[in-house]
Amino acid sequence: MISVRQSNERGAVNMGWLDAKHSFSFGSYYDPAHMGFGPLRVINEDRVQPGQGFGMHGHQDMEIVTYIIDGALEHKDSMGNGSVIRRGEVQRMTAGTGVMHSEFNPSGEELTHLLQIWILPEQDGLEPGYEEKAFSDDEKRNRLCLIASRDARDGSLRIHQDVDLYGTLIDAGVELSHTLGDGRKGWVQVVRGNVIVNGQSLGTGDGASLSDSGTLSFRAEEDTELLLFDMV
C-alpha cells in the first residue's frame, strides 16, 4: 500500500532566517498521525538565509543525515570535526552517547537548501561518529545510487540501522525500478520534480510511505531528484 504525504500537508515553521517543512512531528509541530515511519523519525526540509544557522546544540542516540540540495552548510562539532558541505555532498553524524554541533550557512548571498534526516539507531549508547562524502550527479543519473547503508557497501556512508538510503536524478521519461524484500518497507521523498510511483503521482516536496514488499516503479514526468529509504 502507498500512502502519500503531500508537501502542503507538512508542518511549517518560518522564523525569518529559517523556513522549514516537517514531514513528521518535530519541535513545536506535533501531529500524532505523523510521528515517523519505521526507524525514520525526521525529514526536515530547511531553507537557511545567508549568514544564519543553528548555534551549538546537542543530540543523543540518533543517526543524523544531512543532504544538501543547494548552497552550502558549515558544520562544527564537539568531536573536533569542521567542514563545509555543498550540493551533492551528504553528511552522517552518529550522536550516540552525546555530541554538540553547530550548522550555519557560510554564504553572505546564497540561500542554503537541505534535507535533514533523523534515523533511530539499532541501539542506544553508540560512540559518536562523523562521516561525509560527495556523490556526483553522474553517479545518481538514471540509477539508484546507494548513499547510506548499515554495512557501508558500495562506498556508501555507514548508518547504524538496517536502512538503505538511495539518491537518484531521473531524466524526464526514464523509468527505474526497485524491489523491497520481504518484511521491508519504503519511503520516497521527492526533492524536486514529478514522478509516478506505482501509479501514484508525486511532486516536489511530497513523500510517500510504502508498507508492502514487492517491486517499486518510478517514471519521471519531468527531471526529478528523489530519495528512497528501503528499511525494516
**For 55-88, what is each residue's pLDDT tens digit?**
999 999 999 999 999 999 999 999 999 999 999 9
Res 212: pLDDT: 87
How far apart CA 36 and CA 108 sit, in angstroms, is 35
- Paired with 215 in beta bridges are 179
Q: Do domains 11-134 and 137-231 have the same CATH topology?
A: yes
What HEC string does 113-166 produce?
EEEEEEECCCCCCCCCEEEEEECCHHHHECCCEEEEECCCHHHCEECCCCEEEE
b/e map 118-142, b = 16+ CB within 10 Å = bbbbeeeebebbbbeeebeeebbee
The CA angle 23-26-31, to the nearest 5 degrees, is 70
Which CATH architecture is the domain 137-231 placed in?
Answer: Sandwich (2.60)
Res 193: pLDDT: 98
pLDDT along the chain (232 residues), means of 10: 97 98 97 98 98 97 98 97 97 98 97 98 98 98 98 98 98 98 97 97 98 94 98 97
pTM: 0.97
pLDDT digits (tens, 9 = 90+) for 144-172: 999 999 999 999 999 999 999 999 999 99
- Start-to-end CA distance of the chain, whole Å, equals 16
**For the chain, which residues make up each domain, given as ranges?**
11-134, 137-231
Is 95 within 8 Å of 36 (Cβ atoms)?
no
Res 146: pLDDT: 98
Question: Which fold does the domain 11-134 belong to in CATH?
Answer: Jelly Rolls (2.60.120)
Query: All 3 cell numbers of residue 188?
Result: 520516497
- Paired with 232 in beta bridges are none
